[in-house]
Structure 1
Amino acid sequence: MTKYINTLFTLIGTAILFTACQKLEDRPLELVTEEFLWDSKDSLGTNAGYFLNSIYADLPTGYNRIGGNVLDAATDDAVPTEDGTTIASFTNGGYSAISNADNSWQSNYASIRKCNLFVQNFNKVHFKKDPTIFIQGQYWRAENRFLRAIFYYELAKRYGGVPLLGDKVLSLDDDLKLPRNSFDECINYIASECDAIKDSLRADPVPASDYGRITKAVALTLKAKALLLAASPLNNPSNDIARWRRAKNAAADVIRLGVFSLEPSFSNVFLTRKNSEVILAYQRNVTTDLETNNAPIGYVSGSTTSRGRTSPTQELVDAFTTIKGLPITADIKSASNLTGYDAANPYANRDPRLDKTVFYNGLPWLSRGVETFDGGRDRPGGSVIQTKTGYYMRKFLGELASSTAYSNQTHNFPIFRYADVLLMFAEAKNEVDGPGAATDSVYNFVRDIRRRAGIQAGSGQNTYGLTAGMSVADMRNTIRNERRVEMAFEEQRFWDIRRWKIAESIYNKPLHGIRITKAGNVLNYKVEQLNTPFQFFAPRMYRYAIPYSEVVKNTNLTQNEGY
């Protein structure tokens, strides 16, 4: 270990995550040493706490993180509005061992190294003999182990099996040619770490001052996510039901805590810092960056013009059911069904989440309706960068329909939330036991999410769009579609279509948008195919390539198939 800790380059800036009112820089930053960080006389562990906060800052941040684009712009849910973006490499077959727009190998191992530095040095700090300070130290140790586990999870879902380092901080004197552990070994390590620390973490719910800290529910949710990944077809080709059962039981452990619930308002999940649904979120300052990056291009707030970076596809819009919870192809408007889908008025009588997820023509925003018809202010044509699909991303943005300018909003990226846990449980239980009776938890959890969304209850054998007696396959498809619309733009679809091993069928077909022409007061809607390349080479692209620079350095680091 070097005399001066190189990993501290983010320490001061990121410490504001949890300690906005405190200051560490009482000496030049380049002189922050090991002795200063792990000072045995620092009886409150203040400096060590700052170091831990810098590790928190490495959690997944989500929004517009890949060349200014959201990860869902590399799925069938959206395309990047601008041409030539780095994220397009995921949809044109262009990523490789040399070039990857989401290359997180180095960053996650750098974070794991920081976690191991914390493990190696934290015992040097002699806390004063105070029960409150002692329990804080216990929390910090457990939080650090969780952070290390989630960094391994981020690696495993991208690369499969990766080298597990344990608590070791490698130096140049060590044998650095480490082989990969198997995928199952990585998942079992993550699950066992979560089990080991769950009772040493803060109990839920936490006070506002601790919001964003790792809690018992956070650890249990990571375990469930990891086990569901291991149970899914990509990693469970023999469909071992025992794997699905482990995932189901892990999700049930989160539910049985009885602490979290669906937030009554879908929008509030993303616009309030603390609510009943978010289990873990990346804590950000209040900003207007999501609005300026993603709102339709025709809107100006002050001197800032919105960029409209994300263009949702017609495929995503069509995935939203009618208000009765039925697919739009199965609920067509007629003289006897006035609340069915109407191609001439396609956004009426739809799942209310559509209005909170996608900007479509006519949706109110900054005191006027969105204009994505040809020649409209948000689709003017010409050389201006504008929507490719007739849509823009609405999710996460503030409730600003009647405002005249952007104002700072809470934009904490949701890493884990309770709706995801319910859907994970339903998915796993459906594979283990089938959907069961119409009163079974698989049905009930999907109904709960649809009820919160504003879907009509219906009556008889069809409630919230779910019919009694559904087959395993029908319920599986229903749950997958529910995940798609409920979790849109939350970095779920990209990984879901890979773990379900359906990416090759999803990617290797054209995507579509809407073309709207206006004649007087009459709007005409026409679905049109996009020119955006969209292809997926299986089985190679189900995993990322280990970076070429790492494979060259380490001859024991075997490359993934096809690279």
Structure 2
Amino acid sequence: MEPVSGYNCSSTAHRFVASGIVQRLKKWAPVLCVILAGGCKKYLDVVPDNVATIDNAFKLKQEATKYLATCYSYLPASGDLETNPAICAGDEFWMVAPYAVSESPWRIAMGNQSAGTIYLSSWSHLFSAFRDCNIFLENIDKVVDMTAAEKNKWSHEVKFLKAYYHWMLLRMYGPIPVTDVNLPVAASSDEAQRPRQSVDSVINYITNLLNEAASGLPLTIADRARDLGHITKPIALAIKARVLVTAASPLFNGNQDYAAFKNYDGASLFNPVYEVFKWERAAAACKEAIAACDAAGMRLYKFNKLGLALSDNMVTQMSIRNSVTEAWNAEIIWNNTKGRYGATDRTYTLQRFAMPRLDPARITNEMSQGSLAPTLKIAELFYSGNGVPINEDRDWDYANRYKLRTAKTAESEYVTDGYQTAVLHFNREPRFYADLAFDGAVWYMQNGIFNVQSKNGQLQSRKGTLDYNATGYFAKKLVNWKYVIKDGQELVIEDYAWPEMRLADLYLLYAEALNELNGPGAEAFDQINKVRARAGLKTVQESWTNHSVQPGKYQTKEGFRQIIQQERLIEFAMEGSRFWDLRRWKRTYEELNKPVMGWDVDQEDAAYYYRPRLRYQQTFKTREYFWPLDYWDLLGNKRLVQTYGW
């Protein structure tokens, strides 16, 4: 029997990656010392449990299938607000203590991360993923009852996974050690001391592996009943496009702030020189990915009325909402089926915390909490009804946005007829009403139309300590329209797989790459205007020319860059995109040093309720663009340097 490939006791990263042994050793070290001191001979005679497992895992397809599932199991539960930092560790949402969920993302959002206390680290977990992917690729050809075509397809899926796990680690830590193959058991201690590699070399490794993966993956899933969730060619190419746009962005392309980030031998880990060819490569990757998506029949989602008597405005809103929450719709390139507690809880908990007690007949239901609160900053991000920023619209009353106004009957699809609310909530673009609910909002669901009233004492206001909405806004976008509140503790929630990447994402990445390469142009305008059209907006050219105080903004590279960035922040608000986009644009320092604001939600009277109230003053340091490494990892690998600034 062969031992597990790559198991070597001389490197922390490779020694303990199999199952999180590092943490267990910290806890049980005193006990282990006693056991080993008194009985080493007895314990050393035991054959390691996983030797026989690896020896047999690739004899038959049935067992190899399980190992393929193991490789997939390291995918993040992206719809889990407790473990995905991109949801709650930034500035899109806010909660207040006592938290109904894990404190870890909030500790990051409050700037409490340190080298001694690291939150939501993926370092050891993903090195374990590398190891299992390498084992799979080294052994899949041994399976006797699989065709060559099946082995080839699975190998390319795992190559994608290995590339994606390296990408996840790079995004969090910057330069990382590449783990292309596992170390042999006989590897020396010196061989096990793998250093970080430069950002550019890691990017090249990831994209080359994604190219390999894409070459052997199918365009679509043939057996949807059995294989939905498996990786396809459009997924691989779309992720490659995202990787290369990120590589061309300011965080990784000519970043002077990290010029002093050196390896153990003094070699630079960041190239401080800006290189335009990175945008050429990114634009080509976006174009290739869009072509693959077109060939696969993907398109921007449009809601089917299904015989419902809905206005055009409401159809637009439902198109926006369901592009996220309707799993496997034609716009979603990659639905990530991983849930924190298995495939049955991919977004179930997220929806519970996004949804208030909406139904007046079921107001005592404790399962819906509505405590996942978008910030006032996010509410102000969305365009006016004219499709331009509210502070640029020459016809929108920005100076008086916090004043009160009463809704008219003609506005009753957006705001409750006759209800008094802030000027901020009137004459906004369709995505504002599709994505957010607020005091006075109208919330359309399959089982009815509900009016949100969230001032103190009203139906959707605070009912306890854990269902406390801190800002006065609710994340309507994340709630499936088939969510039903029932009596007592019963809910009917249509869980959906997390939309890891949508076609709209590719369009906007392509527009960004084209603009950075050649400035504004017809092709770049076409990409962004596709997304705006689905959102019920006129083109960039029409909107800025006719309504903005800066009518020529879209005609310059810098101006169009600002437009593209705001379009991305709006289109993917609350989907975990903003957290990473702000980082790659190097705008996190700017945005996460602003105050977190909301309405004065404990007030009964509208005049007092609609006063912006400070929830938290965030602080962000340059070093926080990347995670620090644990001291144990640094002690176990003398060639591993700490993340710059930590």
* TM-score, with length taken from structure 1: 0.85
* Other structure's SS at 2:113 match: coil
Q: Pick one of 372, 379, 390 that aligns with 1:328.
A: 390
Tell me which amino acid in the other structure corresponds to 1:251. C
Instruction: Give the SS at the match of 1:330.
Output: coil
Q: Distance in 2 between matches of 1:458 and 1:3?
A: 57
CA contact (8 A) 1:93 1:536 kept: yes
Which residue of 258, 274, 279 corresponds with 1:244? Answer: 279
Q: Does 1:219 align with 2:279?
A: no
- The separation in 2 between residues aligned to 1:541 and 1:333, in whole angstroms, is 37
- 1:97-136 matches, within 5 Å, as 97-127=115-145, 133-136=147-150
Given the alignment, which residue of 291, 305, 309 partners 1:256?
291
For residue 480 of structure 2, the aligned residue among 398, 412, 427 is: 398
Q: Which residues in structure 2 correspond to 1:336-347 (within 5 Å)?
A: 344-347=422-425
Amino acid at match of 1:432: L
Q: How far does the alpha carbon of each residue in 1:183-215 deviate from its partner, in whole angstroms, 9 at most, with x for none?
A: 111100000011122121112364423321111
2:334 corresponds to which residue? 280
| Alignment map for 1:101-500 (pairs within 5 Å) | 101-127=119-145, 133-169=147-183, 171=185, 173-175=187-189, 176-204=192-220, 206-209=222-225, 210-237=227-254, 238-257=273-292, 258=294, 259=296, 260-264=298-302, 265-283=319-337, 285=343, 288-296=348-356, 304-331=366-393, 332-333=395-396, 344-365=422-443, 368-380=450-462, 383=465, 385-400=467-482, 406-436=491-521, 440-456=522-538, 462=544, 470-500=555-585
Relative distance call for 1:429 and 1:458 in structure 2 (3 A) is closer
Deviation at 1:390, TM superposition (A): 0.9
- TM-score w.r.t. the length of structure 2 is 0.74
Describe how 1:25-44 pairs up with structure 2 within 5 A: 33-39=53-59, 42=60
Q: What is the rounded CA distance, in whole Å, between the counterparts of 2:466 and 2:55 in structure 1? A: 55
Compute the displacement of 1:536 (Å): 0.5
Q: Is the 8 A contact 1:458 1:464 kept in 2?
A: no
- Please tell me whether Structure 1 or Structure 2 has the larger radius of gyration of its CA atoms: 2
Structure-2 separation of matches of 1:236 and 1:157: 14
Helix, strand or coil for the counterpart of 1:267?
helix
The alpha-carbon deviation at position 378 of structure 1 amounts to 2.7
Which residue in 2 is equivalent to 1:14? none
Report the more deviating stretch, 171-180 or 266-275: 171-180
List per-residue Cα deviations over 1:308-328 (Å, max 9, x = no partner): 342111110111112221222
Q: What's the secondary structure of 1:329's corresponding residue?
A: coil
The residue type equivalent to 2:498 in the other structure is: F
Q: Are 1:262 and 1:452, in contact at CA under 8 Å, matched by a contact in 2? A: yes
Secondary structure of 1:531's aligned partner:
strand
Contact preservation (8 Å) 2:81, 2:350: no
CA distance in 2, matches of 1:414, 1:71: 14
Moved more, 397-406 or 422-431: 397-406
Q: Which has the higher helix share?
A: 2
CA apart distance, 1:2: 4.8
- Tell me if the contact between 1:343 and 1:525 (Cα under 8 Å) persists in the aligned partners: no
Aligned partner (choices 604, 610, 618) of residue 526 of structure 1 = 610
CA contact (8 A) 2:323 2:332 kept: yes
Distance 1:86 1:170, change over 3 A: farther
Task: Measure the CA separation in 2 of the matches of 1:355 and 1:227.
Answer: 33
- In structure 2, C-alpha distance between the alignment counterparts of 1:382 and 1:49, rounded to whole Å: 47
* Partner residue in 2 for 1:26: none
Q: Which residue of 2 aligns with 1:75?
A: 90
Partners of 2:453 and 2:374 in 1: CA distance: 15
- Distance in 2 of aligned mates of 1:372 and 1:65: 23
Match of 1:16 in 2: none
Secondary structure at the aligned position of 2:598 is classed as: strand
Structure 1 residues 87 and 33: CA distance shift in structure 2, 3 A: same
SS in 2 for 1:515: coil
How big is the shift at 1:169? 4.6
CA distance in 1, matches of 2:396, 2:617: 34
8 Å contact kept, 2:286–2:510: yes
Change (3 A) 1:193 1:465: farther
Distance 1:546 1:3 in 2: 26
Contact persistence 1:208–1:274 (CA under 8 A): no
Shift of 1:330: 3.2
Structure 1: unaligned runs, 5 residues or longer: 11-28
Describe how 1:41-60 pairs up with structure 2 within 5 A. Answer: 42=60, 45-60=61-76
Matched-pair contact (CA < 8 Å) for 2:91–2:109: no
Show CA shifts across 1:438-458 (max 9, x none). xx1211111111111122569
- Who is 2:624 aligned against? 541
Deviation at 1:345, TM superposition (A): 3.9
Change in Cα spacing, 1:81 to 1:391, as seen in structure 2 (3 Å) is farther
Deviates more, 1:464-473 or 1:448-457: 464-473
Structure 2 counterpart of 1:100, one-letter code: I
SS of the aligned residue for 2:478 comes to coil
Structure 1 residues 250 and 463, CA, compared in 2 at 3 Å: closer, same or farther? farther
Separation in 1, partners of 2:356, 2:513: 38
- Over aligned residues, Cα RMSD in angstroms? 3.3
| Corresponding residue for residue 260 of structure 2 | none
Partner Cα separation in structure 1 for residue 365 and residue 51 of structure 2: 41
Distance, in Å, in 1 between the alignment partners of 2:327 and 2:510 is 26
Q: Percent identity?
A: 26
How many residues align structurally?
527
* CA distance 1:7–1:97, shift in 2 (3 Å): closer
1:30 and 1:249 map into 2 onto residues whose CA distance is 44
